[in-house]
Amino acid sequence: MDFSWMAWTLPTALFWGGIASCLLLMCVWEYYSPGGNPRVGILRFETTRGDRLFISLLGSAFIHLAWLGLVGPGLWWALGISFVYAIFVFRTV
């Protein structure tokens, strides 16, 4: 298959590999500890691990887009902010 039209650079491959790794780890976690430990956090509705992963991935996308629009193409700080945001989401949401 010819994937040259997709511009697979190392950062692109690492990005998609990271998302695939998150999903794989969540599947393994769910296999060994089913149920996802639903809880009510600061948003005042019940969320599971999968919900919190989705919220953190969606928020990280917005953090990166805002960084690109306001600061520029150096995304390492946006990545760090996204990790802190994900930890916050998994602990409080």
pLDDT digits (tens, 9 = 90+) for 16-75: 899 999 999 999 998 998 877 889 999 899 999 999 999 999 999 999 999 999 999 888
Tokens of 29: 């976690």
Give the pTM.
0.82
The parent domain of residue 22 ranges over 4-92
Q: How many domains does the chain have?
A: 1
Q: CA-CA distance, 92 to 41, in Å (whole number)?
A: 6
CA angle 31, 32, 34 (to 5 degrees): 65
Q: CA-CA distance, 38 to 48, in Å (whole number)?
A: 4
